[in-house]
Chain A
Amino acid sequence: MKTNKFISVQNLAAAIVGAVCFVCSAGALAAQQASSVTRVEEDWEMEVISASDDLTAPQIVMEMSPDNSQSGNYFTFEINHSTLPEFSNGGLQVHSWINDESHDFQNSPTDRTLERVRETIRWTHVLEVQDGSVEFSVGPFASTSIGNFQNEPLLSASMPTSQSDLSSYSPQHSVDKTTVPYAQNRVRALRLKSVRFYSGSSELENRVVNIDVLAQ
């Protein structure tokens, strides 16, 4: 009997905890719905060692998607090279891809290459959904080799979307899809420093993540 009483006390406690969790998550969900995320900013930092101008090395490819690429739609940002309409050394380029087909792209105003023995580069990705369109932009971008671009945005690409918010966005997707396909040995670290969520112009959250992609 004592055992039964004990079990029922446990069950009661579990039920209370469950109810609290449900109320909390419902509240969080309601809050999320009330102020849906329409803009996300990612702050990135990269430490480069022994870049090679002759080899156009390293080459870095970043990706950001409004829905974790579930629809096959995503944006890419190429650093120290560009691949559209054909390969070019140096500079920066952003693209939008719909079902893995190029939709839009833009080059940086410079094609300078990474060439320093050591340098730390910092930049910000911005993803924003508005009026049936989602836009990816980069800026500010700070590099000793390629250049300092403090204006925002430096580069942008967009695509049509049926999404009204960025609730499907995941920073983990950006981390998973980011790669250094050539000369990763020349990059010491590539970090997603922080992620900021906005609803319109109101900041909802500033999440410091500090994930080193190369250490994953």
Chain B
Amino acid sequence: MRKQLKMCNRTGGIVPLGALFLVIMVVAVVFAVEIGRIGIIQSELQRAADAGALSACWELASKFNKAQPASQAMASARLAAQNVVSKNVVRSVEPALDANLGNLSDGDITFGKFNEFGDPAAMIDPVTTNEANAVQVWVHMDDVRNGSCELGLAKLLGFTTFGTKATATAAWVREIRGFKTPSVATQTLPILPFAIKKTEWDKLINGTGPDNWTWNTTTKTVSSGGDGIKEINMFPGTVGASGNFGTIDIGSSNNSTNDLKRQISQGVSGNDLSYLGGKFELGSNGTLSLNGDTGISAAIGAELSQVIGKPCVVSLFTTVSGNGNNAYYTITKFVGIRIVEVKLTGNPKRIMVQPAIVTVNAVIPSTTETSEQVYSPIVLVN
């Protein structure tokens, strides 16, 4: 009996304990709800920062490719970032970005140089010149800008607001010193097995040459008529011109016409690069010696016609030496081109090309001027 009474007495002790547990449970639920809310806010901020950095970087690259001065290109890129970020609403707020006209390293929009691709902790080096290849964006949701986020149930606990911010950096490789084997085995690189003498390319870039063809960016077709971009004939029409153009062995030293045809129509494969140690890359002295033959074979006319309009990479060389099977090209640079005309009958024959922007995935970055208009895709680097 005494034992039963004792048990009844203990029944009343659960009330304060239950109340305590209830409070703890409520606090836990509040924290869980608010942490979830904060997580959503943080991911929305990150999405806005990513979108802002990518859009600004695209705009910057696009303006640079149109040879706009850095100040104008960066002004356009700032507007692009501000516009895109504002459209990425965070908890019903359209985030605003400060223009950061002084290009401070901790500003909302910062332009800079970025070379440490693959290192997520690397920072950009702020610059306001056309050397820039990266844009860093900070999106604030705090007392600095856009206001802190209002908390909900946490107000019950005395917490009313929460400040946070997110950052993203987008960049592209502007200078490349070579190409590596693509990560996907079936992927190929848009590299043509041709080399142009650097002095001839420089003349083209400086305005020498005809302008008889136009690349239509909308229809993605080539048509007759000038577009303000000069052209050069890669097919040597005279004995003297033969030394200005060459066909290089990117791959086996026993390259055949069929290998050349495949590389033109399908691109350079990982297997081709395996003969060069997996990389088609300038050495530490800035050069690469490759076996080849002067001029271009008329056997590849059909394959060249297939790739009219497609942006491709060709190599520039400074010298060619040796005869017979021992002709070697000294490659010093990679440039982007587009074939606009192929006529391999009659005399002289023509393979007309004009400078073009080429985007290649498997590039090896360079810190010196070893390429023109050959870029990596724009990517988020941190």
Contact = CB atoms under 8 A, between A and B. Distances in A.
B256 A184 contact: no
Closest 10 CB pairs of A and B: A50-B324, A54-B256, A185-B327, A183-B293, A184-B242, A182-B295, A182-B297, A184-B294, A181-B295, A49-B324
Interface residues of A, number: 39
A49 B324 CA distance: 6
Contacts of B63: none
A213 interface: yes
A46 to B, nearest CB: 12
B237 A179 contact: yes
Contacts, number: 108
Given A181-B242, A182-B297, A84 B324 contact: no
B293 A83 contact: no
Given A185-B323, A186-B323, A59 B257 contact: no
A59 B298 contact: yes
Contacts of A178: 239
A82 to B, nearest CB: 9
27 contacts: A50-B323, A50-B325, A55-B256, A56-B297, A57-B293, A63-B347, A74-B347, A76-B347, A83-B345, A86-B302, A87-B301, A87-B344, A100-B346, A102-B346, A176-B238, A180-B239, A180-B295, A181-B242, A181-B295, A182-B296, A184-B242, A185-B293, A186-B293, A188-B323, A190-B239, A213-B239, A216-B239
Interface string B128-153: 00000000000000000000000000
Nearest to B322: A185
Name the residue in B241, B344, B345 with the highest tally of chain A Cβ atoms < 10 Å from its Cβ. B345
B193 to A, nearest CB: 11
A89 interface: yes
Nearest to B297: A182
B239 A55 contact: no
A181 B235 contact: yes
Contacts of A87: 298-299, 301-302, 344
B347 A56 contact: no
Interface string A74-98: 1010000101101101000001010
Contacts of A74: 347
B44 to A, nearest CB: 59
Contacts of B325: 50, 52
Contacts of B297: 55-57, 59, 182-183
B299 A177 contact: no
Contact of A81 (B236, B296, B298, B320): B298
Given A176-B238, A181-B242, A188-B323, A61 B347 contact: yes
Interface string B236-252: 11111111000100000
Contacts of B243: 184
Interface string B306-340: 00000000000000101111010000000000000
Given A83-B345, A180-B239, A56 B299 contact: yes
B133 to A, nearest CB: 39
A184 B239 CA distance: 8
B100 interface: no
Contacts of B161: none
Nearest to A175: B239
Contact of A179 (B236, B247, B346): B236
B302 to A, nearest CB: 8
Name the residue in A52, A61, A95, A185 with the highest tally of chain B Cβ atoms < 10 Å from its Cβ. A185
Contacts of A12: none
B78 to A, nearest CB: 51
A189 to B, nearest CB: 11
B277 to A, nearest CB: 23
A9 interface: no
A15 interface: no
Contacts of B180: none
A83 B344 contact: yes
A84 B294 contact: no
A84 B293 CA distance: 23
B345 A55 contact: no
A76 B346 CA distance: 7
B293 to A, nearest CB: 4
A177 B347 CA distance: 8
A62 B220 CA distance: 37
B11 interface: no
A58 B298 CA distance: 11
